[in-house]
Structure 1
Amino acid sequence: MSGPNILLTRIDNRLIHGQVGVTWVNHLGANLVVVANDKVSKDVVQQNLMDMVLPDVIQARYFSLEKTIDVIHKASPRQKIFLVVKDVHDALALKEGGVPIDHLNIGNMHYEEGKKQVSSTVSVDDKDIEAFKRLDELGVNLDLRKVPNEKGQNILDLF
C-alpha cells in the first residue's frame, strides 16, 4: 500500500487563515486540511474559527501530534492532504514519528523575544535552526515562501 497523499506540509503559526484556507488549498487542489498540533487538537473554539475560513467543500481535522502519527497512514488515497503545523518542532516530531514529509513549506514563524528575523515572515532561534538542520539531514526539502507563486528559498541558506 502506498503512503498517505500529503500534497504539502506547511509551517504557519497562524495555522488556518485566509492565505492557507483559500490560496494554498486552491493551489494544491487539497480536499482535506490536517492541523497537527497538541494544543489546537483540544481547543474546539479555535477549531470552529478556523473551519469558518475554509470553503465548504474542504474538510479539516485537528489532531495531536501523536494521533497524526498514528492515523495518517490510514488516510484514503482520495484524501488530498494539506498538512499544517504551528512550528518546526511539530514538523520534526511528525517526521521522526514516521509521517512521510518530503517537502516542508515554511510560511510563517512570528518574531518573539530571543528570535532573529530571517525573512519578512520568519524568525528563528537556535533551537529552531537545529530542528531545520535535522529535517534537512532526514532528507526534507525546506522551502521558505509565503504564497505559491513566490519563488521559494532553502531556509538553511539564511543561517
Structure 2
Amino acid sequence: MIKLVRLDYRLIHGQILAAWVNHLSAQRIILVDDAAANDEMKSATLKLAKPAGIRLNIFTVEKTIAKMPKILELNENIMMVFGTTAALVAVCKACPAIREVQYGATFNKDGSKQVDESVFLDESEQADTRELLAMGVKIYSQQTPSKRKLDITAV
C-alpha cells in the first residue's frame, strides 16, 4: 500500500527521510527520478544512504508507470519519492490511484516562488502543480511528521 507520495529533489537524505520512514513504518522506498535511475554512481550512492532493512527501488518515470499495477498490489508500506514535478505529473496521469501528494522540498532557483519553508516552484513547476490540482490531486507541503501540513490549493 502506498502510504506517502512525496516530492523531494534530494530523494534520500538523513533526518527527514528517517523521520518519514519511521512514521509510516515504511518497508519499501520507490524513488522516481530519470536522472538517478540512469546514473549508476548516483544510484549506488542512494542505495548506500537508504535506511537499513528498507527495500529500495530506483525507477525511471517510464518504468514506474509500467510497474504501477504491481506496486499497487504489494502488501508493504510504501513511500514513493519523486525528484521532479514533471515526473509526478506523468505518473499521476497514468495512475489515477494517486490522489494525494506531499511537497517536501524543491530546489530554490532564480525566478522561483516560495510556497513553504523548503518549497520553491519555478514557472514549469508551478504549471505542473496547477495540472495536478486540475486532475483533482490533493497537494500539501510538510517537512516532517511533527510539522504542520500546509494545503496547496493554488499556485
Q: For 2:34, which of 32, 38, 41 is the aligned residue?
A: 38
Q: For 1:151, which of 142, 148, 152 is the aligned residue?
A: 148
Length-normalised TM-score, structure 2: 0.91
Residue-by-residue CA offset, 1:8-51 (whole Å, 9 max, x unaligned): 11000000111354111111111110001111111122122222
Residue-by-residue CA offset, 1:48-102 (whole Å, 9 max, x unaligned): 2222222221010011101000012113432221110012111111101226211
Larger CA deviation: 24-33 vs 72-81: 72-81
SS in 1 for 2:103: strand
CA distance in 2, matches of 1:156, 1:87: 19
CA 1:83–1:20 in structure 2 vs 1: closer, same or farther (change >3 Å)? farther
Percentage of pairs with the same residue = 27
Is the contact between residue 21 and residue 53 of structure 1 (CA under 8 Å) also seen in structure 2? no
1:134 is aligned to 2:135:
no
Corresponding position of 1:78: 75
Q: Structure 1: which amino acid aligns with 2:34?
A: D
1:109 is aligned to 2:114:
no
Q: For 1:93, which of 81, 87, 90 is the aligned residue?
A: 90
CA distance in 1, matches of 2:86, 2:7: 10
Q: Structure 1: which amino acid aligns with 2:31?
A: V
Larger CA deviation: 37-46 vs 27-36: 37-46
CA distance in 2, matches of 1:15, 1:42: 14
Which consecutive residues of structure 2, in runs of 5 or more, have no partner in the other structure? none
SS in 1 for 2:30: strand
1:49 is aligned to 2:65:
no
Q: What is the aligned length?
A: 154
Q: Compute the displacement of 1:117 (Å).
A: 2.1
Q: Structure 2: which amino acid aligns with 1:81?
A: I
Corresponding position of 1:61: 57
Which consecutive residues of structure 1, in runs of 5 or more, have no partner in the other structure? none
